[in-house]
Amino acid sequence: MLTRTLGRRISWPVNRLAGLLARAGVPPNVITWGALVLSLQAAILFAAGRFRAGAGIMILAGLCDLLDGPVARREGRVSLFGGFLESILDRYADLMLFLGLLVYYVSVDRFHEAMLAGAAAAGAVMVGYAKARAESLVPVDEVGFWERPERLALMILCGLANRMPLGLWILAIGPNITVIHRILHTWKQTKTEPQRAMGASAVAASGGGQFKEPSPALNVMTRSAGRGR
């Protein structure tokens, strides 16, 4: 993916900064919560129609997304709960951003853009949920393009260019196409491996399933959702 390529190019400065934060003893959970607070601030700016300022704050939130995993590894604070918490907070951050856009477009009586913001929010949630549920049933490859890093990168670019309606059109369509792609992929897998799918489904039904959206370990907008801290 594009984000993996860019992530490799910025890995050196990110790792150096992570090393500085680790030596300073900054807790990785503070960085994780900082990303959520910054996303809230960006959502407030979006709700006020200040798209460029909101996109700038999103860049800072994305930097926090990149740093908390490497800092956790350097400080030896890796745990399963850290990855779980990060994944949950990512979902809230995504929804806050779209809610901010929805509030703005409702306030200026732009009904179509408000509907696009709602559809984009639904797609953002369902992309991760579809993958998480598929993983409880069958082996899952990288299916589809519109995971969280790509979505946030597009929002930032459109915000900086003050072309948010264009971004919402893409985000209302692209991620939902990815969901359909994952549905079809999982359907084909369950046809080829029915026994494994039935066994995994029983485990998920008994409470063994988790909702997370794995993403590249180091990329432009986010660290791996399953960093395991």
What span, in angstroms and rounded, lies between the C-alpha atoms of 119 and 188? 26
Is pLDDT above 50 for 219?
A: no
Mean pLDDT of 192-216: 50
| Domains of the chain and any CATH numbers | 2-208 (1.20.120.1760)
What span, in angstroms and rounded, lies between the C-alpha atoms of 46 and 158? 12
Residue 216 has a pLDDT of 38
Is pLDDT above 50 for 36?
A: yes
**On the CB side of 97, how many CA atoms lie within 13 Å of its CA?**
37
Mean pLDDT of 34-58: 97
Q: What is the DSSP letter of 46?
A: H
Tokens 């700038």 locate to 56
- Predicted confidence (pLDDT) per residue in 103-133, tens digit: 999 999 999 999 999 999 999 999 988 888 8
Q: Which of 9, 57, 11 is nearest to 223 (CA)?
A: 11
Q: What is the DSSP letter of 218?
A: B
Token pair belonging to 1: 């993916």
What span, in angstroms and rounded, lies between the C-alpha atoms of 137 and 132? 9
Which runs of consecutive H residues, i.e. helices, occur in the chain?
Answer: 2-23, 28-47, 51-75, 80-107, 111-135, 148-160, 164-192, 194-203
Mean pLDDT of 175-182: 92
Long-range contacts of 3-6 (CB under 8 A, 24+ apart): 3/149, 3/150, 3/153, 3/216, 3/219, 3/220, 3/221, 4/216, 4/219, 6/219, 6/220
Residue 57 has a pLDDT of 97
Mean pLDDT of 164-172: 96
Query: Is residue 102 left, alpha or beta, with left meaning phi > 0 and alpha meaning psi from -120 to 50?
Result: alpha
Is pLDDT above 60 for 224?
A: no
Bridge partners (DSSP) of residue 223 are 218
